[in-house]
């Protein structure tokens, strides 16, 4: 089966719509969410080709296939993350500036800043005494580098 478009996302479906269908999952590393062409396998062993015709990244919860009885959904494997919890706008500005200079992609959930684990960032956070934890956590979207050059 070749998948050329995402039908919807689980967030847009009601619980009744989800519960009445058997769900197969495709587990992807977060880095693979940006790949528009890839070969994957569901948790039931079904092989799929993904060849998205629209320029968009995959997200956790994306529905690749759905009929009256079944659906195939994207799920994301956990990443090794640093969860940064600045106590003030000063700490947030400081660490955001430091990580921005390293071109390190970040995501935000509530008051938390999420970055992929890096021992140098961990040492920096300890040195700056900014609260953080290291956790295995699923992210909904890929960590994406923003194209930029210093000219």
CATH number attached to the domain at 79-137 = 3.30.70.790
Whole-number mean pLDDT of the chain? Answer: 90
Q: DSSP per residue over 81-140, as a string?
A: EEEE--SSHHHHHHHHHHHHHTT---EEETTEEEEE--HHHHHHHHHHT--EEEEEE--S
What pTM was estimated for this model as a whole?
A: 0.76
80 CA to centre of own chain: 12
- Domain boundaries in the chain? 2-76, 79-137
Identify the CATH class of 2-76.
Answer: mainly beta
pLDDT tens figures, 122-131: 999 999 999 9
pLDDT tops 80 at residue 146? no
**What pLDDT was estimated at residue 148?**
43
* pLDDT band per the 50, 70, 90 thresholds, residue 105: confident
- What local confidence, expressed as pLDDT, does residue 103 receive? 85
């Amino acid at each position: 089966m070749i998948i050329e478009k995402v039908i919807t996302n689980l967030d847009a479906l009601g619980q009744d719509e989800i519960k009445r269908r058997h769900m197969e999952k495709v587990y992807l590393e977060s880095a693979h969410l940006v790949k528009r062409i890839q070969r994957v396998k569901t948790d039931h062993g079904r092989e799929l080709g993904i060849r998205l015709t629209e320029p968009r990244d995959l997200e956790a919860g994306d529905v690749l296939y759905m009929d009256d009885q079944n659906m195939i959904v994207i799920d994301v494997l956990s990443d090794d993350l640093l969860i940064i919890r600045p106590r003030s706008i000063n700490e947030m500005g400081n660490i955001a500036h430091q990580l921005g200079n390293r071109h390190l992609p970040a995501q935000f959930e509530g008051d938390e800043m999420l970055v992929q684990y890096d021992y140098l960032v961990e040492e920096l956070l300890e040195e700056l005494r900014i609260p953080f934890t290291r956790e295995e956590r699923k992210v909904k979207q890929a960590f994406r580098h923003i194209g930029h050059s210093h000219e």
